[in-house]
Amino acid sequence: MLCFLRGMAFVPFLLVTWSSAAFIISYVVAVLSGHVNPFLPYISDTGTTPPESGIFGFMINFSAFLGAATMYTRYKIVEKQNQTSYFSTPVFNLVSLVLGLVGCIGMGIVANFQELAVPVVHDGGALLAFVCGVVYTLLQSIISYKSCPQWNSLSTCHVRLAISAISCAAVVPMIACASLISITKLEWNPKEKDYIYHVVSAICEWTVAFGFIFYFLTFIHDFQSVTLRISTEINDDV
């Protein structure tokens, strides 16, 4: 049986494939429509102008939902593992979940408020999504090491930490360079003074975004042993 069809593994698998498709499809449509330069646009640039804005908004909204579902399932997995064999304070796991969900809300804001229409709200949502997302991966990496070797292999822990470290290293220059850009626009000329800031921040943005995708890919193995049960009870007194 395919690994992503076992247990709840389809949840992070769907998150990874859907989010990758969202970025790639929006980029391709935006480039083919002539709305962005093919060389290193911001992710948000590829979802600003119709028709790609509709595709971007719809797909990123669903990605935010899948992200929240994945994070909550991961939270319940760690909670159960911790009850079986204590390795970390439950508060650590809860803080990680809350930050992850806040990051998903940020994704929803990014999807629904285009950068040229409402730039302040859009940028605020992006900041929430990236910063909270990076901190989430760092906390989950620490939890992975604490639960090793009973619940995670050492190699998985190393991979998660490496992705977290790269994302953390990229998010700082991304924010710093983006804050130095004096104007928000879709088309850039290499001769413009802010162009180098745009290039650096765009590279870092794509790095962090796909860092998240590869990080959630490491959850697939953990989710294979998890099953979802829905219980319905009817109260006769009502």
Q: In the prediction, which pLDDT does 191 show?
A: 85
Q: In the prediction, which pLDDT does 227 show?
A: 83
Answer whether residue 181 is part of any domain: yes
Tell me the C-alpha distance between 232 and 213, whole Å: 34
Answer whether residue 228 is part of any domain: no
pTM for the model: 0.92
Answer whether residue 178 is part of any domain: yes
- Asked if 13 contacts 79 with a C-beta cutoff of 8 angstroms, the reply is no
pLDDT of residue 124 exceeding 70, the answer is yes
Answer whether residue 231 is part of any domain: no
Residue 206's domain comprises 7-222
Q: In the prediction, which pLDDT does 231 show?
A: 75
Q: Among candidates 173, 171, 177, 164, which has minimal Cα distance to 211?
A: 164
Q: Among candidates 78, 90, 76, which has minimal Cα distance to 228?
A: 76
DSSP type of residue 47: G
Answer whether residue 208 is part of any domain: yes
HSE of 226 in the Cβ direction (CA atoms, 13 Å)?
Answer: 24
Q: Domain total for the chain?
A: 1
Q: In the prediction, which pLDDT does 178 show?
A: 92
Q: In the prediction, which pLDDT does 127 show?
A: 95
Q: In the prediction, which pLDDT does 135 show?
A: 97
Average pLDDT over residues 114-136: 93
Per residue in 83-101, pLDDT tens? 888 888 889 999 999 999 9
pLDDT of residue 1 exceeding 70, the answer is no
Tell me the C-alpha distance between 45 and 221, whole Å: 34
Tell me the C-alpha distance between 163 and 138, whole Å: 9
Answer whether residue 76 is part of any domain: yes
Average pLDDT, the chain: 91
DSSP-based three-state secondary structure for 226: coil
Per residue in 184-235, pLDDT tens? 788 888 888 889 999 999 999 999 999 999 999 999 999 998 887 777 788 7
Answer whether residue 237 is part of any domain: no
Per residue in 153-170, pLDDT tens? 999 999 999 999 999 999
What are 90's two structure tokens? 């439950």
